Amino acid sequence: MILIGITSSIVEGGRLSTAIDNISAINDESVLPVILPNIEPDKAWHYIKTVDGVLLTGGGDINPMLFNEDPHPHLGDITPERDLFEYELAKAALAEGKPILGICRGMQILSIAAGGDMYQDLPTQYEGDLVQHRQRAPRGYRSHQIQLKPSSKLESIVTCTTMYVNSFHHQAVRNVSFPFQAVAWTNDRVIEAIEHHSHPFQIGVQWHPENMTDKQSKKLFQAFIHACTS
């Protein structure tokens, strides 16, 4: 059996929460999903020593202090405990070379942990016209198109250079730092995916494949699970 750590949100009433779809997406017969708590950041490194891979899940806004910015007027609710724990978790996974799949907020945390930054609010900070990044359709509906970089790891996994994805965000990766590179974009050129330049599977995607049933989403999770067994 392989252990995959799944990050969690802190919700009203002081409870930990993660969507069932996050668990179902990786609950292969060979996988033991483990929900990770948002506790002392230094314990994140011990978790990474234990698990075979980590799924950085979606959720609320990210504290801009992590990339040395003051809060934008349109910054939403933040959870400092989660931000600090996941930041250290991502840094530890990078240092230990563990497989990582970052989803939405998870991609943003992954990018920040590697030295990148982000838009705190796309509609007011992005220069240019935007497509709808907060869809009003059901979560499993593929809302807008993205273009993938040919010959990227992500393109080799989903086996296409153009696909449709869902979209639920007002924050996004802005500048990507080495060892990551941007490998997918919406038609407005907002970054939709990043990947490590040499690691077999350290990938972040801006959409929510855990809510989708298309073949590309299934291939992405299958590749992640396979990487965790290596």
Cite the active site residues.
104, 208, 210
Judge contact between 9 and 36, C-beta under 8 A: no
The pairing of strands 53-56 and 2-7 is parallel
Q: Quote the CA–CA distance of 1 and 96 in Å, as a whole number.
A: 20
> Left (φ > 0), alpha (ψ -120 to 50) or beta: where does 159 sit?
left
Written as one string, the DSSP assignment of 125-171 is H-SS----SB--S-TTS--EEEEE-TTSHHHHHHT-SEEEE--B-S-
Whether cis (ω within 30° of 0) applies to the bond prior to 200 is: no
- Token pair of 71 as six digits: 């809060």
